[in-house]
Amino acid sequence: MEITTVTTFIPYYDKIRERTKRLLAVVPPDSLDWAYMPGKFTIGDEIRHIAAIERYMFAETIAGRPSSYSGCGKALADGYEAVMAYFDEKHEESMAIFRALSDEDLQRKCTTPGNATMPIWKWMRAMVEHEIHHRAQLYIYLNMIGVKTPPMFGLSAEEVAGYGKG
């Protein structure tokens, strides 16, 4: 999918973020430090990572600046309220950068931290894929600790299958 206009990308990305926010709404505040094994991202790290990488890697390179992403540890935000506020704040900062783009800017080349050069629209698509990837990890993490997670599109797979049995 090629992203051709900013005005179509913004509402699309808003819907992606809404799905992520629905999932974050069920994160138990006392589970932010849980990880499935030592040395792996915690639930809080995953949330901070989505926020920090969007703002400091994707948005910075889209704005023509080098990535300034430096990790996703507790120094960025610690505790449930702080982590959720950080998540929203970094997203709003990123969205201001994206809203300032023109449709022509989407064809402009940016340089990724891996030194690849690509049109901004492709880098924006990679950003969306990145968020979806980490959201999926959060679904798994939350299921592992017994949290009932919201269905992605309104119905669970079991509910959809039940409709077919009439």
Convert the pLDDT of each residue in 21-39 to its tens digit.
999 999 999 999 999 999 9
Residue 68 covered by a domain: yes
Q: Give tens-digit pLDDT for 72-100.
A: 999 999 999 999 999 999 999 999 999 99
What lies within 8 Å, CB to CB, of 139 at 6+ separation is: 23, 149
Residue 1 covered by a domain: no
Q: Give the range of the structural domain holding residue 98, as residue numbers without chain letter.
A: 6-163
Report how many domains make up the chain.
1
The model's pTM is: 0.93
Residue 89 covered by a domain: yes
Residue 93 covered by a domain: yes
Residue 134 covered by a domain: yes
Do the beta carbons of residue 49 and residue 72 sit within 8 Å? yes
**How large is the average pLDDT for residues 41-47?**
98
φ and ψ of 128, to 5 deg: -65, -45
Q: How far apart are CA 6 and CA 113, in angstroms?
A: 23
Length of the chain: 166
Q: Dig out the tokens for 56 from the structure.
A: 């400091």
pLDDT at site 47:
98
Find the CATH number of the domain harbouring 68.
1.20.120.450
Residue 98 covered by a domain: yes
State the virtual CA torsion across 31, 36, 38, 40 in degrees, nearest 10: -90
